[in-house]
Structure 1
Amino acid sequence: MKKLLLLALALPLSLAPVQARRVARASAAPAGTVSAADPRAAAAGVEILRAGGSATDAAIATMLALNVVEPQSSGIGGGSFWVTHAANGRLATIDAREAAPAAATGRWFYGPDGRPLSHGDAVPGGRSVGVPGALRGMALAHRSGGRLPWARLFQPAIRLAREGWIVSPRFAGTIPANGGHITAGTRALYTVGGRAVRTGDRLTNPAQAALLARIARLGPDSFYVGPQAVRLVQTVNNAARNPSRMTTGDLASYQAKARPPVCVPYRSYRICGMGPPSSGGITVMMILKQLERFDLHALGRNSPVAWHLFAESSRLAYADRDLYVGDPDYVRVPVAGLLDPAYLRERSALLSPDHALGSYQPGTPPGAPPRSRAPAQEVPGTTDLAVADGRGNVVEVTTTVEGVFGSGLSIDGTILNNELTDFDIVPVHGDFLVANRVEGGKRPRSSMAPTIVYNADGSVRLAIGAAGGPTIIAQIAKALVGVLDWNLSAQDAIGMGLIFAPGDTAVVEQGTEVDAMLPALRALGGRYVSAPLGLKANAVERVGGRWIGAADPRSEGVSMDTLGHVVTPPHFGGSAVRPPE
């Protein structure tokens, strides 16, 4: 980690690292802050802030740098969700989720034998690749919130790809652990001297540097039309495994969409996030609203009863999201009903501090259509970043290529997503169509949950997001309870252990303080197992009139500000916790 920090700080930034959980500012001057999963990416964002860029500009630069140094998790071959707060108080969300080709049908992931593919068999190759949305999302955000020229935002990432970056321990271990589906051409990107990269190697990516330089010069449309689009379509349609039927028209017609934010009150705060096709914001809000009648503050973070209630509320909320949430342009999603106060009181009444409910079925919120529940098939992946500038703008972005190294395919040094495996592979369950079935042009359901929390006076208290597939929802809900109910710093709230309860069996994060509560949790009922969880979260929070960043101690993430402070969380101890992707 120290080597990574030194390399990040070798970028044109005059930053002096400070090892601390929270950093006291030496000046009351407004400072911008960036939190990201890699110090080189955070440094790229700070470089842009110091050049006069906005939080939006810095977020774009950070995303592009992550594309280079964390290619297994995100990039312009994938998609993203944005939640932004402008200095004038305007809240906006952007859906840059990948979309299915127009040719896709409900049997998109069926084999020649007429049977549905397993999730593992559906991932490799072209058919899992959705039309990438990340660049269109960046462009939409830049039009409304950018200050610097588009091309300037690409410079840090181009420099990293061209001049090279030092391979971290986490990245060095990623391909051996997760690379079975990666094509030979993609694998060659991550070799030095004919061998797989090792920790400490300097890795360059000239093809990616050239691609980023072209997009910087020609603009985002150059990725979606012309020779670049043709090359992408040929790559997925001619894949050796699971060839697609994508067209250049699919790329040319793709648009990132401004969606209405979803917000609920929670105690004295207002929590706002991304609506469908992401299920993340709604599900986080359902978990919290179902818990609101309990005095979590009095119970405290060390109470097995508090964690039991968290798990029980999670189980109910995940049941609803699995049944009802999909792309709102294709299915009727009862957002207002799911967040209806009377409905959430009804669901909360099922929770008991004394015993587990035992059976966790979806409810029937107002406006709910008839539908059949299907099992979620997301996998851990993704990355997140949070940015606040000195002008009062705040940006939270979660971005992904879905699984580790996406589809295993790449184009011009850049990974292509496997986002379409976030759809339910079987389109019919029982007598009903499932909400998250594959359809042409549709966007798959996501768990990504970029979130902004407001104080009662309308000021931003916290911006937070996470990576890790369906655990994202639990991570954010847990961190918000930590900050808002248990008065923890964002750093400490992110670092707490987690109970992930998407169904009857809950996973208690191994090697954490909640793991020690396992006997007490089992005594209250419900099924619990202890296991590692791949988690990764980032945040910025407003404390004492200043922005303070937070990054997950399980990751290689850091936060940096424009005054020269770097916050490097202590590494999450214990071999039981595997590196998140």
Structure 2
Amino acid sequence: MAVQLWRGLGALGFIAALAVSGGALSQTLAPSPEAPTGRTAKPISSATRDMVAAANPLAAQAGREILAAGGSAVDAAVAVQLVLNLVEPQSSGIGGGAFMVLWDGTTMTTLDGREIAPAAAKPERFLGADGKPMKFYDAVIGGRSVGVPGTVRLLETAHKRWGKLPWRQVIEPAATLAENGFTISPRLNGLLTQEKYLQNDPVARAYFYDADGKPKAVGTVLKNPAFAKTLRTLAEKGADGFYSGEIAEDIVASVTGHPTNPGDMTLDDLKAYKVEERPAVCGPYRTFKVCGMGPPSSGQVAVQQILGILQETDMAALKPGPDAVHWIAEAGRLAYADRALYLADPAFVNVPVKGLTDPGYLKSRAALVDPAKSMGKAKPGEPPFQKTYLWGASEGIEFGTSHMSIVDRNGNAVSMTTTIEDGFGARLMTKSGFLLNNELTDFSFATVEDGKPVANRVEAGKRPRSSMAPTIVLDEGNKLYAVVGSPGGSLIINYVAKTLVGLLDWKLDPQVAADLPNAGSRNGPTELEAGTEAAEWKAGLEAKGHEVKLIDQNSGIHAILVTPAGLVGGADSRREGVAIGN
């Protein structure tokens, strides 16, 4: 019934119906925030012409309506991202950054809209007076952690090249929704209930909370006229209206004016921001070609390393279970070991991407996997084509991240992962109506490790390393086959790898692949998703020498598969997203 309602209404009609219903559709789709790994499986979604899979029904519907109006995948991505800023503010928005992977039928393009450290940033940024790394939330809360946002410039850059509809038109759904309001979903209410720091910011407190300090209730209509005004400015002035003028001044004032933990961002930092087009990282898996974003993201390199190692065994014969998880976890150990040593911003560190994804090197790494016994802690390898490297510790965990997968009527595709890093970012809300990121805590807090400079340390103008892995898969005829991605911090790599194995080896439909139990290793314990059938695999893995931990793994996978009959989509049942199309 929900799908019929979406298909029968325009974008604004859908929004109005949802508001009148008190958020009934959203309540039906959202999992309980008290049980993030529990879920009711969603139905498979199919379409004949185009499709959007995104993290919230309102955002997905906005993208679907843009596609129905003849818009491109990029047009839809702009609309989806701006609506997500409203309805999923804890995860992404124009105060953050994103990576976009785009396929136009002939060329794979990747755009880096990652946040950048201000010009005044120094490696010691997150060291305390005692010279030791600060506690995570002592660093996060306030202006110190805010990087120069990249999402707006990314959206404009992509739209200028691949957009078909007017810029003003693709912004309008979010602007209208900001003015008219949307109903608070159970997921947003639940996350606000669990949140400890956000209401200390007066602007955020007035927006998200009632006078008694409690989060506004599920079904409350939340309006954001300040954000509507910001979007009208962007519609008129483009991205320049964000990186200069009143909005930029508001961002700088919010960052530098924090009472206890101010930052040092300037108007010049905002004016200097640029999106970088980088070479796509592509590699073979079985008969497929898997492509995605390269450094400063570690995501695609690590995903391809995992797949390259798995290619040495018959995953199709193993099927989901402890034997398959053994291989996935061992491959993950090796990939995460290399990731920790070699991956950082390529403008500052010579990252040996070619060597790390070299088939011969991955074959040698696969030879380290014992089918009967876990290797425990893996060591980084010595890839070919390596020139220099620095030591790199892991970044913080990105809880505030989202993803969208989009295919338009012409077969163009966008896979975009977008973030403000931690849930609700730096807990700073501008008077312009959006939250600011805490992306700089994705840098390593330490400056030296084992006597070596840390590759992912803070430096002026540098982009922090990420785990985001927006992915596009081509078939053996170089035709679009799948669009995949997920939020989830450093677990993103394992989430995407699992989904790709499900799609490419086990031939599952996207919904089933997304909903598979999450399992893998980040070169520590083998982590199984608590509250799922994966818990039953614990004994079998321990028999192979694995140290096993059961943890919540709240992935948000969005996948679209191209089939002879049309498009098939899936949206992770752990969250409130949907896949819908025309």
User: Same-fold call, TM > 0.5?
Assistant: yes
How do residues 337-486 of structure 1 correspond to structure 2 at under 5 angstroms? 337-366=355-384, 367=386, 369-411=388-430, 412-486=432-506
Give the corresponding residue for 1:234. Answer: 253
Choose 112-121 or 393-402, whichever is displaced more: 112-121
CA distance in 2: counterparts of 1:473 and 1:559, whole angstroms:
22
Match of residue 106 from structure 1: 123
Relative to 1, partners in 2 of residues 1:8 and 1:336: Cα closer, same or farther, differing over 3 Å?
farther
Letter in 2 for 1:358: G
Task: Give the counterpart letter for 2:209 in structure 1.
Answer: T
> Where does residue 35 of structure 2 map in the other structure?
none
**Shift in Å, 1:238:** 1.1
Partner of 1:203: 222
Q: Is the 8 A contact 1:386 1:463 kept in 2?
A: yes
Provide the secondary structure at the position in 2 that maps to 1:414.
coil
Which residue matches 1:165? 182
How far apart, CA to CA, are the structure 2 residues paired with 1:431 and 1:154?
Answer: 50
1:559 Cα deviation from its structure 2 partner: 1.0
Picking from 516, 522, 545, the partner of 1:502 is: 522
Q: Quote how far apart the aligned CAs of 1:372 are.
A: 2.6
Of 135-144 and 107-116, deviating more is: 107-116
Structure 2: distance between partners of 1:165 and 1:4 = 20
Q: Structure 1 residue 159: deviation in Å?
A: 1.3
Question: Which residue does the alignment assign to 1:60?
Answer: 78
Please give the root-mean-square deviation of Cα atoms over the aligned residues, in Å: 2.2
Partner of 2:43: 21
Native 8 Å contact 2:349 2:390 kept in 1: no
CA drift at 1:373: 4.3
Report how far residue 258 of structure 1 moved. Answer: 0.6
Secondary structure of 2:531's match? coil
Would the alpha carbon gap of residues 356 and 54 (structure 1) be closer, same or farther in structure 2, given more than 3 Å must change?
Answer: same
Q: Give the whole-Å Cα distance in 2 for the aligned partners of 1:239 and 1:20.
A: 43
Amino acid in the other structure paired with 2:181: G
- TM-score with structure 1 setting the length: 0.92
> Conserved in 2, the CA contact under 8 Å of 1:7 and 1:40?
no
Q: Which amino acid aligns with 2:516?
A: M
Tell me which residue corresponds to 1:576: none
Residue in 2 that maps onto 1:281: 300
More helix by share: 2
* Offset, 1:507: 1.5
1:262 to partner: Cα distance: 0.3
Q: 2-side partners of 1:180 and 1:24: how far apart?
A: 41
Deviation per CA, 1:472-497, whole angstroms, max 9, x where unpaired? 10000000001111111111111000
Q: 2:158 aligned with 1:141, yes or no?
A: yes
Cα deviation, residue 547, structure 1? 1.4
Deviations 1:201-228 (A, max 9, x none): 1111111111111111211111001222
Per-residue CA distance 1:289-329 (angstroms, 9 max, x = gap) = 01101011111123x11111101110110111111100001
For 2:516 and 2:110, the matched residues in 1 are separated by: 28
Please tell me whether the aligned partners of residues 380 and 470 of structure 1 are also in contact (alpha carbons under 8 angstroms): no
SS in 2 for 1:189: helix
Q: Is the 8 A contact 1:278 1:446 kept in 2?
A: yes
Aligned partners of 1:78 and 1:173: how far apart in 2? 22
How many residues get paired? Answer: 556
1:216 corresponds, among 235, 241, 254, to 235
CA apart distance, 1:13? 6.3
Q: Distance in 1 between matches of 2:378 and 2:504?
A: 27
The residue aligned with 1:11 is: 11
Q: Distance in 2 between matches of 1:14 and 1:115?
A: 52
Provide the residue aligned with 2:194 in structure 1: 177
Over 3 Å counting, the alpha-carbon distance change for 1:501 and 1:189 in structure 2 is same
Native 8 Å contact 1:282 1:339 kept in 2: yes
Say whether the 8 Å CA contact 1:385–1:397 is kept in structure 2. yes
Mapped to 1, the partners of 2:240 and 2:226 lie a distance apart of 19
- Which deviates further from its counterpart, 349-358 or 103-112? 103-112
Aligned residue in 2 for 1:261: 280
In the alignment, residue 92 of structure 1 is paired with which amino acid?
A: T
More displaced stretch, 229-238 vs 415-424? 229-238
Q: Report if the CA contact (8 A) 1:76-1:134 is conserved.
A: yes
Instruction: Give the AA of the match of 1:321.
Output: R
Note the C-alpha offset of 1:191. 3.0
* TM-score normalised according to structure 2 size: 0.92
Amino acid at match of 2:463: R
Change beyond 3 A, Cα 1:360–1:486: same
State the match for 1:248 in structure 2.
267
Tell me, in whole angstroms, the C-alpha distance in 1 between the residues paired with 2:45 and 2:524: 41
SS at match of 2:567: strand
Secondary structure of the structure 2 residue equivalent to 1:344:
helix
SS of the residue corresponding to residue 272 of structure 1 reads: strand
Q: Which residue of 2 aligns with 1:325?
A: 343
Q: Is the 8 A contact 2:45 2:579 kept in 1?
A: no
Give the direction of change, closer, same or farther, for the CA distance of 1:125–1:7 in structure 2 (3 Å limit).
farther
1:78 aligns with 2:96: yes
**Aligned residues of 1:4 and 1:40 also touching (Cα < 8 A):** no
Give aligned-pair identity as a percent.
Answer: 43
| 2:329 counterpart of 1:301 | no
